[in-house]
Amino acid sequence: MSLGTLLGILVGIILFLQAIFLSTDQYGSFLHIPSLIMVIGGTIAATFIAYNERYALQALKAVISIFSKTKVDQNILLADVEKIISWGEIVNKGGIRELENKWDEKEYDNPVIKFAMEMVFMGEKSETIYKETENLVETMYDRKMISVEVLDTMSSFAPSFGMIGTLVGLVILLNDMSDPAALGAGMSIALITTLYGVLFQNLLFKPAARKIEQKNGMYKFQDMLLVEGITMLPDKKHPIIIQNHLNSFLDPASHFDVAGGG
């Protein structure tokens, strides 16, 4: 559970409601279902025109994923480095076969490890393994980044459909000004769609796009770290060399030190 995301959304909504409750006792005027349908419906409709059903649905699912904690941090990266260095030690002493004998495929569910190690055990050259696994990581990343593009597009659709709603309201309003007293209330309703559009853009679509972009980036970083390490195995590089190489990807403050054990 990502506490930051949850708190962010709760605080955002509370701030918004408090701004209303402090200023008026006619809360009802801020919940206007037809306006809500206009903005959300229009945004989703345009999204389904703009993107394959599969991508549009994938993006909507990705929004839910922003509440779950990213499973990549400095400690997990350090654990990955430690794991790869220990493999390097096995290979350095007993060769690839030794590592293959000790290998338990079920232990690792990361497809990059599985794909790369299969080629290592097949005896492929490290350049080939690097090229193929890097390609795997890149195409996985590209596929996941489509959700970010969809959400960024939705983030630009939302205020546009808010504006469309407001324009519809204004056209109706201005067309018949027989009752000047109703003018204010009419404009008030007309502005609701713009308000909804800007709210959805800034509290939902845009932050979700940024959060997912960031998560994808972190998973790609972890995957590339694994690739960088695993592709040093076939060349039986000394564990210290592996350590130096992998450390160059980490924060200097927490560089792995094989001598000190971490």
Q: In the range 41-60, which residues lie near a copy of itself by CB under 8 A?
A: 41-42, 44-56
Task: Identify the CA nearest to 77 among candidates 253, 239, 208.
Answer: 253
Residue 188 CB, nearest approach to a copy of itself (Å):
4
Stretch that binds a copy of itself, among 81-89, 97-105, 119-127 (CB under 8 A): 119-127
Task: Decide if residue 16 touches a copy of itself (CB under 8 A).
Answer: yes
Residue 198 CB, nearest approach to a copy of itself (Å):
6
Which residues have a Cβ under 8 Å from the Cβ of 238 and sit 6 or more positions away? Answer: 88, 92
* CA separation for the pair 194, 210 (Å, rounded): 22
Residue 177 CB, nearest approach to a copy of itself (Å):
4
Task: Decide if residue 36 touches a copy of itself (CB under 8 A).
Answer: no
Using CB under 8 A as the binding rule, the residues of this chain from 127 to 146 that contact a copy of itself are: 132-133, 135-136, 139-140, 143
Is 256 in a helix, a strand, or coil?
coil
Segment (H or E) for 221: helix 206-230
* Structure tokens belonging to residue 228: 């960088």
Dmax over Cα atoms in the chain, in whole Å? 92
Using CB under 8 A as the binding rule, the residues of this chain from 186 to 225 that contact a copy of itself are: 187-188, 191-192, 194-195, 198-199, 201-203, 206-208, 210-211, 214
Q: Determine which residue in the list 80, 130, 165, 219 makes contact with a copy of itself, applying CB under 8 A.
A: 165
Using CB under 8 A as the binding rule, the residues of this chain from 55 to 94 that contact a copy of itself are: 55-56, 66, 70, 73
Please list the alpha-helical segments (H only) found in 51-73. Answer: 53-65
Q: Determine which residue in the list 172, 235, 236, 262 makes contact with a copy of itself, applying CB under 8 A.
A: 172
Which residues have a Cβ under 8 Å from the Cβ of 196 and sit 6 or more positions away? Answer: 35, 36, 39, 40, 158, 162, 165
DSSP state, residue 203: I
Looking at the Cβ atoms of 94 and 154, the one nearer to a copy of itself is 154
Q: Determine which residue in the list 1, 23, 64, 179 makes contact with a copy of itself, applying CB under 8 A.
A: 23
* CA separation for the pair 63, 195 (Å, rounded): 21
* CA separation for the pair 104, 35 (Å, rounded): 56
Residue 104 CB, nearest approach to a copy of itself (Å):
19
Site string for a copy of itself, 173-192 (x = CB under 8 A): xxxxx---x--xx-xx--xx
